[in-house]
Amino acid sequence: MFPHIADVAESNNKRCTTCAVVGNSGNLKRSHYGPLIDFHDIVIRINYGRTKGYEADVGTKTTHRVMYPESASYLDNTTSLVLFPYKIKDFLWLIDNFKQG
């Protein structure tokens, strides 16, 4: 399933070169890290933390969200859901959504 030698020796524009993982803590308030966060190729946000009104501190870019599946219907079409199912309800949600196409 996994190659014996990882193909990571050469850089490739199809790979993420930098990423930022942004949580929902109040620690970023008044940090002015927004431009630094948005500079990254990939921005992973935890749960459904708000960015509107806090752009200067948390940025505007979101490429992936890690969250409960019940919240996934609120994602825009530029953001991917990263799902870590761990309870029966998560798996049932996943099955139901695949049935719907």
- Report the first-to-last Cα separation within the chain, whole angstroms: 27
**pLDDT tens, residue by residue, 37-82:** 999 999 999 887 889 999 999 999 998 888 776 666 667 777 777 7
Q: What is the pTM of this model?
A: 0.67
> Is the per-residue pLDDT at 1 higher than 50?
no
- Of 12-21, 45-54, 91-100, which has the strongest mean pLDDT? 45-54
Per-residue pLDDT, 99: 78
Does any domain span residue 8? Answer: no
Highest mean pLDDT among 3-7, 12-16, 48-52, 67-71: 48-52
Per the structure, how many domains does the chain have?
A: 1
Res. 25 pLDDT band, cuts 50 70 90: confident
Range of the domain at 45: 19-100
Distance CA 47, CA 84 (A): 12
Q: Is residue 85 situated within a structural domain?
A: yes
How far is it, in rounded angstroms, from Cα 68 to Cα 90? 8
| Residue 2 CA, distance from chain mean position | 24
The DSSP secondary structure of the chain, one letter per residue, reads: ---SS-S-SS--TTS---EEEE---GGGTT---HHHHHHSSEEEEETT---TT-HHHH-S--SEEE--GGGGGG--TT-EEE----SHHHHHHHHHHHHH-
